[in-house]
Chain A
Amino acid sequence: MQDIYLGIDVGSVSTNIVALNNEGEVVHSQYIRTNGQPLESVKNGLRELKKNIDQNTNIKGVGTTGSGRQLVGVMVGADVIKNEITAHATATAQVVPDVKTIFEIGGQDSKIIIIENQMVVDFAMNTVCAAGTGSFLDHQAERLGVPIEKFGDMALAAERDVRIAGRCTVFAESDMIAKQQFGFSKGEIIRGLCEALVRNYINNLGRGKKLEPPFVFQGGVAANKGIKSAFEKEIGHEVIIPKYFNIMGALGSAILAKELMEETGSDTNFRGFEAADLDFMPSTFECGGCSNNCEVIKVELDKQVIAMWGDRCGKWTNSL
């Protein structure tokens, strides 16, 4: 009989699941493309998890994070629903205990987290613009006809430097087209792109902050060796990529669930693996009760409303 704690990170691009044992070791992990279907990807993840673990496993606690944390939290019956910053920082502080600076680049947002004595003391997230995140790289990979997995190697193999404007991705794209016409190779363009992305990231998020080593780079984009090397060039220091770099949010949320359950000793709200077969129906409606016209999100299970949120006054949230 084994006890495990689950962490689920539902992001724009990927959905990740991590299972920890009592010792805090990762016994199972998954990285699934969300493809715009957060509920489906979590259901698939749960089925996959069930296949891969001992049938006598006891789920002791569940945490969710990421932009879909609330919806999926309702679906699986989460004990902890936490934002990505807290989840990421929790995981990193465990894996690299003396970490001082975390660079995290995900599908649609990027953040910088400053840690002191394993505590978040400051952070910054990209504001209105998603420039320089994973989605942009995906898009460029497609445009150049290069699989995203090959990006890193091609960037490292490039011979010449090419400077690409990184302030805005729209300009970056036109600059890339121009540089291609100047005869630079794909690899060189990719390297220029990686450097532009990192320059933009440090300028936007790191300005005014004291960036000190150890530096940890995580998030899906950390798979790209070109970006890692661009980071090292920009800050002039080694950058650590943790083993579970692309599932750190899920790992952190599993740790948070474990901490909470151990502290309170209470029973988990987890609905069980049957959650994967239940028919959850999220929908949205505009309230219209006042001039705010809030968009209320409603989740139904077997035609029964089980959760609502998004209303500013609490009229719907509190109606259950």
Chain B
Amino acid sequence: MKIGIPQSLLYTYYYPFWKTYFEELGIEVVTTPATTKSIIDKGVKASVPEICVPIKVYIGHVITLLEQNVDYVFVPRFVSIKKGQYFCPKFMGLPDMIRHSMEGVEEKLIMPFINTKSDNIADAFKNNIFGDKFPLNHKQNKRAIEKAEKIWLEFREYSKKGYSIIEASAIALGKASKEAFQSLNQKKIDVTIGLLGYVYNIYDPFISMDILSKLREMGVKVKTFEMLEEEDFNRQLKTMPKTLFWTFSDKLLAAGYHFYNDEEVDGLIHVTAFGCGPDSLLGKLLELDASIYKKPFMTVRVDEHSGENHLQTRIEAFVDMIKRKKLKVQRGA
């Protein structure tokens, strides 16, 4: 049996779990390549025009998998991974959007209900997620979950050490050694930037135009939300009169305040997809508070367009501003 996983939305955050789990069950895993122009074009054609770009990208990936003749496509329904909090409705209704926009696709979807107490989604796989599509042996399932959980937790540890999600994933899955990634031991780092954004925006090289690598090339150390500990989030969220309703938005908000309070971080960049509802609150809250912490905050808004010049100019100017400011402080001292 061949199962396809779209390389989009929460893929980067959960791929080590999903891949390990399916392979332990003896299922072949097929993934789409990183988003390309043709994938996004397919998605745009098949989706309603008003929807945000990450969902269009996801639909493009699903179509790409169906064209590759996989037996099933894995489209999880993310409902909640924290008590009292939910996902953006587009995540909760994702399988429905897919099955209603493509005829005859429903029987090819494996769509588990993800409703767990924490980021660790292992519990959601305890009951048979396949229905009668796959002969699941209870014992084998338990073993596969344990292995997947272990790999995923390792992956999270690498993230917390400062590896990008792509790097952490490769290390945890044994595809690369830690030494392969030099970025952590750069000689001279003079600027540190807190890069805020959902994993499907930051790590999709098409959507964010690989902003993380661009920053690193400029000699910037990049910190992202998934590099932080759970306690870091809780400490920030505790001080707020009210938090957001969406788990990942909350994590980003907490990460933002953590970066504002982190002496090492010189400035924040928020990457957001045009029309993102949760981000309209998140971005604004952080933007309004930037002056309290005296750190620059910049919003980079991305959409289907692929012009790289604008992004380049903005991040160059942002990094330049910080570098020149630091240089002046040094000279003055």
Contacts and interface: CB of A to CB of B under 8 A. Distances in A.
B117 interface: no
A123 B299 contact: no
B309 interface: yes
Contacts of B287: 207-208
Say which size band chain A's interface belongs to: 20 to 34
A209 B213 contact: no
A196 B123 CA distance: 55
Contacts of A121: 296, 321, 325
B309 A67 contact: yes
B321 A312 contact: no
Contacts of A210: 291
B326 to A, nearest CB: 10
B290 interface: yes
- The interface residues of chain A, by DSSP majority, are classed as loop
Nearest to A294: B308
Contacts of A149: none
Interface stretch (A124-132, A182-190, A230-238): A124-132
B308 A84 contact: no
A94 interface: no
Nearest to B329: A119
A122 interface: yes
Q: Please indicate which of the listed interface residues B33, B318, B328 has the most CB atoms of chain A within 10 Å of its own CB.
A: B318
B321 A85 contact: yes
B313 A209 contact: no
Contacts of A124: 298-299
Nearest to B320: A86
Nearest to A121: B296
A310 B214 CA distance: 12
Interface residues of B, number: 34
B301 A86 contact: no
Given A83-B316, A84-B313, A209-B291, A123 B36 contact: no
B37 interface: yes
Contacts of B33: 291
Nearest to B315: A83
A119 B320 contact: no
Contact of B324 (A119, A207, A293, A312): A119
A86 B321 contact: yes
Given A85-B317, A123-B321, A292 B205 contact: yes
B305 A291 contact: no
Contacts of A86: 317, 320-321, 324
Given A208-B290, A291-B34, A83 B325 contact: no
A82 interface: yes
Contacts of A109: 310
B314 interface: yes
Contacts of A84: 313, 317
A119 B328 contact: yes
Contacts of B328: 119
B324 A120 contact: yes
Contacts of B317: 83-86, 120, 123, 125
B264 interface: no
A86 B320 CA distance: 7
A128 B301 CA distance: 7
A312 B298 CA distance: 23
A207 B291 CA distance: 12
B313 A83 contact: yes
Contacts of A83: 313, 316-317, 320
Contact of B205 (A67, A127, A310, A312): A312
Given A86-B317, A86-B320, A312 B291 contact: no
B314 A125 contact: yes
Interface string A89-131: 0000000000000000000010000000001111111011000
18 contacts: A83-B313, A83-B316, A83-B317, A86-B324, A119-B325, A119-B328, A120-B325, A121-B321, A123-B321, A124-B298, A124-B299, A125-B317, A208-B287, A291-B33, A291-B34, A291-B36, A293-B37, A312-B213
Interface of A: 67, 82-86, 109, 119-125, 127-128, 207-210, 291-293, 310, 312
